[in-house]
Structure 1
Amino acid sequence: MALRINYNLGDHGWADVHMNHGHQGVDMTVSYLHDTLAEFITAANLLLKGAPDAKVIAMDEPGEHLVHLTSPDRTSLVIEIRWFKDRASWDLVTEKEFEVVFKCDDTILNFSTEIFNNAKRILDKHGMQGYKEKWIKHDFPMGEYNRLKSLLKK
């Protein structure tokens, strides 16, 4: 079983992210208030380069998911998603006030490939201008995307 990710832009600064592994899954609603796609791509780049961990914020209104990524050995990956009833990243709740809503083991390579494939699909579908129109405050993270593409040798 491998992790599967489906990241889709909606309208007016919203996106939906679904992650599943086997029989478990989690849905996250993401606001343009945080550049979540860019953070996912950056996390994949860091992990591929040997970082022991990375974090991604999926900000809702209110609340947020924190995707905590930990690599014990530079190839395997533990993915834990925490739900906060308000924004811990803005110090509206403490970092200890969360519920674990998803946890699985995967590989850095599969996670990074899933992130790349979603980013590529979004770029192909919307283009740079369409992405900006939908994501309002943020441009498509082309630099990080190209780094990931190079690391994956795509």
Structure 2
Amino acid sequence: MEVKVKRIARRDNYTIGKMYVNGEYVCDTLEDTDRGLTSKMSVAQISGMKVHGETAIPTGRYLVDMKTVSPRFGGRPQYQFCKGRLPRLCNVPAYQGVLVHCGNTANDTEGCILVGENKAVGQVLNSTATFRKVYTKLKAADERGEQIYITIE
């Protein structure tokens, strides 16, 4: 399965994008500030430009793991349906624990990708329902034995 996040609005304090699954638009995304990082940069270069907890992940293509329970979010009620197993991006240079999860503003993410509907400036709304929709698509692919990749551009 191929997931794409196309960043469409880069602002000082947040980044809005559109998420596509196998070419089909699924939802909007919200990330921290895009500082121009790419997965082709060295860890030292990324670390030199990254502001901890306030920087979107580098553009690039990453494998997604659907089997790891999030230590931070796993026990929260909105994730009980998936037993706390949130989509986790693997091998993001200079980042750890990058997830796709619920949230509404850049304050709700520390480099992760929030999903929802961009119906308010600098926010995504209906995030919990949107997360369930995205998760269902990804989990179905995982159960079919497909590898899931996400490309950030």
TM-score range, shorter chain: 0.3 to 0.5
State TM-score, norm by structure 1. Answer: 0.34
Relative contact order higher in (CA < 8 Å, ≥ 6 apart): 2
More helix by share: 1
State TM-score, norm by structure 2. Answer: 0.34
